[in-house]
Amino acid sequence: MLMYKVGVVGDKDSIMGFLALGIDIFPAYDSDEIKKSIHKLVEDEYAIIYITEQASLLAKESIAKYKDYQLPAIIVIPGIGGSMGLGMNEVRESSKRAIGADILFKE
């Protein structure tokens, strides 16, 4: 059976709970650490990379580099401080690209 690897990148307080789910954690606090973690996860063939909203702001270029790849799926999640709306915006943009219209979040 094929098993995909899942990892999460962000500040330690925000990602520690993922250990209980068996997800590999990669604490990172500055832009360089975050970018290196993303690159390592891609090299190590992780299928899903969760990244906190705060961390995603520091690694926009690295995330954009893999946006059109089938794997890994890079998913922005809220950090311990709550949602900044970035993850929901990603869902909105992805659905607009796939469908051609904003049917999920009509304004």
CATH fold of 5-99, please?
Rossmann fold (3.40.50)
pLDDT at residue number 99: 64
Cα gap 84→5, rounded to integer Å: 27
What are 38's two structure tokens? Answer: 């993303």
Q: How confident is the model over 43-92, as pLDDT tens digits?
A: 999 999 999 999 999 999 999 999 888 899 999 999 988 777 777 777 77
For residue 105, pLDDT over 70 is answered with no
pLDDT of amino acid 1: 79
User: Which helix H or strand E contains 49, and what residues bound it?
Assistant: strand 46-52
Handedness of CA 79, 8, 4, 32 (dihedral sign): positive
**Percentage of residues of the chain with pLDDT beyond 90:** 67
Phi, psi of 103 (to 5 degrees): -95, -15
pLDDT for res 2: 81
| 43 within 8 A of 36, measured Cβ to Cβ | no
Residue 15's φ and ψ, nearest 5 degrees, are -110, -10
